[in-house]
Amino acid sequence: MAYSLITNPRNFMNTKLYTGNGGTQSITGVGFQPDWLWIKSRSSTESHFAFDSVRGQSKYIFPNATNAEGTASTGILNSFNSDGFTLGNNDGVNANSETFVAWNWKAGTSFTNDASATGIGTIDSAGSVNTNSGFSIVSWTGTGSAGTIKHGLSTVPKMIIVKTRSTSNIWSVYHVGLGNTHYMQLNEPDTATDNDTYWSDTTPTSSVFSVGTASGVNGNGVTNIAYCFADVQGYSKITDYLGNGNANGPYIHLGFSPAFIIIKKYGSGAWNIKDNRRRTASVSTGGNLTEAVLLANSTAADQDANGIDFTANGFKIKSTGGDVNTANNAYIYMAFAEEPFVASNFNTATAR
């Protein structure tokens, strides 16, 4: 039986629930210092907030919107800490008595790449990477001409999420399930679009990904940030599935018990985010069925919809909702593990 070398996925990706206090508070129990931090209010219609260690603690962007990067030295995210983060009094991340979810990823090893000196790619880049967990954060300045960018991973990324920093523009998504000819927008429930100015109709390699001339990924003089994800056995899986339109929906084998899943219909439909901490919109624990959903492209509060069973080695769709299970429609997804089905120490996930 294949096993995972990552025995504790919570060392690399972890979800934390908390209640705002309207002042300053430190959120602990993440298990590491986050390099990408994504926060959403569960109980109100606030925007999503995204922060990362490459851009720095004071920089924030909204995954549901096209706004350029904002800056706040204090008051929103005050610091990244060794076991979490400290928040200011901004309502979007810490409104008094509101409930919140924070999704955390660890990268941790900084890199820079002078493309002309190293011969890797054609556009200079810098970032932070964790090759064990298949995750990197990459920053670069666009040239307006098609080129290639070092992503820092030693394997091929299967999903890449790009946002312009210095200008207002869409969140551009590459996903292996869409192929190298198409892109989607994280901030919109749109269908996949065929356009060679995004990824230059070129599949990423184990060292670089390609960008075309589109202003959303490579505008001349525009600063950009990308979040790159690769498959890691027993920890992460990025691919697609076919809906059957039945309440007894398809089962998707992952090889691990999921902690986080984001799903998007190939056609028009919202980006559904499920995790193992939000079983229902009002209760943080429960059985296999995960009802609570937040939408990456929307400010909507947590709601119960599009139920999915989280099992010991995958997930099963238990809804006919169009966002997750229309008959004969393809869905792309990215999933991360709560625990592998079989780890390298031969411990197995608990059956569910």
C-alpha 199/C-alpha 208 separation (Å) is 11
3-state SS class at 91: helix
Sign of CA pseudo-dihedral 29, 341, 279, 157: positive
Strands laid side by side in the 49-52 sheet: 13-19, 99-105, 36-41, 49-52
pLDDT at 288: 82
Counted residue by residue, the chain has a size of: 352
CB 215 within 8 A of CB 144: no
pLDDT band at 345 (very low <50, low <70, confident <90, very high): very low
- Report the distance separating Cα 52 and Cα 33, nearest Å: 11
Q: What is the pLDDT of residue 1?
A: 42
What does the mean pLDDT of the chain come to? 94
Does residue 352 surpass a pLDDT of 90?
no
CA 31 to chain centre: 18
User: pLDDT digits over 280-339, tens only?
Assistant: 876 544 458 999 999 999 999 999 999 999 999 999 999 999 999 999 999 999 999 998
Average pLDDT in the 60-79 region?
98
Return d(Cα 50, Cα 76) in angstroms, integer.
11
The overall pTM is greater than 0.85: yes
pLDDT bracket for residue 106 (50, 70, 90)? very high
End-to-end CA distance of the chain: 19
Determine the Cα–Cα distance for residues 252 and 92; give it in Å rounded to an integer: 34
* Residue 207 predicted with pLDDT over 50: yes
Q: Give how far Cα 307 sits from Cα of 64, 82, 281, 304, 322, Å.
A: 22, 34, 12, 8, 12
Tell me how many degrees the CA angle 4-28-135 measures, rounded to the nearest 5.
35
CA dihedral 178, 180, 182, 185 (to 10 degrees): 80
